[in-house]
Amino acid sequence: MPAASPSTVFNPATSAGPHPTLTIYNTLSKKKEPFETVEQGKVGIYLCGPTVYGKAHIGHMVGPVLFDTIKRYLTFSGYDVQWVVNITDVDDKLIKAANEQGITMAEVADLNIQDYNDNLAALGVTEIDDFPKATECMGDIVDFIESLVKEGVAYESQGDVYFDVAKDADYGKLSNRTVEGMQGDGGGAADRKRSAADFALWKSAKAGEPSWDSPWGKGRPGWHIECSAMSKKLLGETFDIHGGGLDLVFPHHENEIAQSESCHHKPMVKYWAHNGLLRKDAAAGKIGGKAEREEGAAADDAGGKMSRSKGAGGLADLIAKQGGERIRFFLLRTHYRSTVLFSEDAIEEAAVGLETFYRLFKRFTRITKADFYALTPPTSRGASTIALGDDPTLNAAEACRDKFIAAMDDDFNTGGAIAELFELARITNKYCEDHKLEESADPADVASLELLMTTIKELANILGLFRVPPAKVGGGDELLAKVMGVVIDLRADARKAKNFAVADAIRDGLKPAGLTIEDRPSGAEWTGGGDGATEAVMQMLIELRATARNSKDFATADALRDKLAAIGVTIEDRAGGTEWSAK
């Protein structure tokens, strides 16, 4: 596809027709399509949100992180974007949780909504405009169901209301399934339905459960109707992008289409955008289970599911260990339609990549005395900081910017965009080294450096990265800092004494902990860390001490012990091995 050019920018507010370079993959058509909005210059996005019966797990963050980035990019491209994420706060599992905890369903929902929002904030998801709750939209839901009954595509049965899939000739078009090949819910509902494939729009009340008034008696809505009603209320009868995980294609999104298009007689959505699932490893099912509410969903996953009831969760703990930016970066490294294999080792690997940028930001501060995070970049694709000219470095940086935009234009390819961000960091580091900016900085060279760093900030903002300095993660940061001070001293002593075996052992021992030491004119500095870093460094020092004693290098062994004692860390040799403790 042609590369985007900042000099020939499409203005969505004034330019008619599809965007000349921006494409999006549509699950309905099974191909990439030119991006053209329902209303000129405006984009409506609806993303299916959580059912808030328990704490959030990392699978709940995949869609929000991706669509937060998509909204940022569309805004950068000149569109006025409204993004809606619904909250399902009435459900069998919520009722069960309330009964088990001895609190109301609303209290269960409120606790878990707060947890969900806290996790979104930690991952930098800040662009959501509307958070409608099902319980706050009951009037809209009942009205929608009434319209379907009047259209003759829904029917009442013993206080329940069902959608009659036989009345929808297009049913199955999103998932490529036929009505004949589908199986609906069994159990007590089977004898109240005309067909096994029919699905509930309204469920009659059970004793002791929350319920709302309706023309069919007290009850509560089915899952699928909630999204049709809330998207219509906030985005209209037809809107631009509907997002969600691949596990929602059937039955949830298929049923949304049936409801909305049978009611309005027009397309519900222009583009169905489904993200790949997060899997714990190559063999297991996706994290979070199939669509967690859908009792009758067919099991497509080859491995066992990891739902909240089977151990997924603990996202707040994961964020405390790893930090939100690491997790966001990890999720954005691959294309949104790809499967993401999750492990903490994979997040640690992503953290190593982030250190490339953190070190560059520190270098920028050393050279300019300025704060990278305080830079103010352009906020639109037509307003590049860099003007093409005779400077090959600035021209190369502008080429990176164009390639970044081209990647994002190509179905929001965040993995390709991140590759250009790394290339821009490489170009910037090389510029610092070639011009010896840390030794003596010419004002013109510093000005060029600021242009390069501002471009990095501009593109990182689109990805939601490097907006604020990274939070300390992993716990024990104060102790880690002290221990790393000892490591730097030991390394300096070893190099001064030409004891390169010790110096090399320190360098190699830090790598598994994700730590590096860099020598600067002002002295050595260390970067990295995370969960388990302090323990890993201490084990490295214990091994170093044992090696020194075995080789009769008692000076190194004693210096190590004494320096650790000075910061309150004690090493003790016991029958079962050497142990350490800190005051």
Residue type, 279: R
Q: Decide: helix, strand or coil at residue 274.
A: strand
SS (H, E, C) 18-78: CCCCCEEEECCCCEEEECCCCECCEEEEEECCCECCCCCCCHHHHHHHHHHHHHHHHHHCC
Q: What is the biggest distance separating any 2 CA atoms in the chain, rounded to whole angstroms?
A: 91
Asked whether the beta carbons of 491 and 505 are under 8 A apart, the reply is no
| DSSP for 300-352, written as a single string | --SS--B-GGGT---HHHHHHHH-HHHHHHHHHSS-TTS-EE--HHHHHHHHH
227 marked as part of a ligand binding site = yes
Q: What is the CA radius of gyration of the chain?
A: 28
Rounded-to-integer distance, Cα 115 and Cα 102, Å: 19
Rounded-to-integer distance, Cα 214 and Cα 503, Å: 76
Q: Decide: helix, strand or coil at residue 150.
A: helix
| DSSP for 391-418, written as a single string | -HHHHHHHHHHHHHHHHHHBT--HHHHH
Residue type, 426: R
518 marked as part of a ligand binding site = no
Rounded-to-integer distance, Cα 48 and Cα 136, Å: 16
User: What residues does 271 pair with on adjacent strands?
Assistant: 241
Asked whether the beta carbons of 529 and 477 are under 8 A apart, the reply is yes
The distance from CA 248 to its chain's CA centroid, rounded to whole angstroms, is 18
Q: What is the DSSP letter of 251?
A: I
48 marked as part of a ligand binding site = yes
Rounded-to-integer distance, Cα 197 and Cα 180, Å: 8
Closest to 163 in 3D by CA, of 176, 187, 182, 135: 182
Closest to 403 in 3D by CA, of 415, 389, 392, 417: 417
**Residue 549: both structure tokens together:** 């004693």
Which residues lie below 8 Å from residue 419, measured CB to CB, with a gap of 6+? 407
* Enclosing H/E stretch for 569: strand 569-574
Q: Decide: helix, strand or coil at residue 390.
A: coil
Binding-site residue set? 48, 227, 252, 256
Binding-site residue set for Zn(2+)? 48, 227, 252, 256
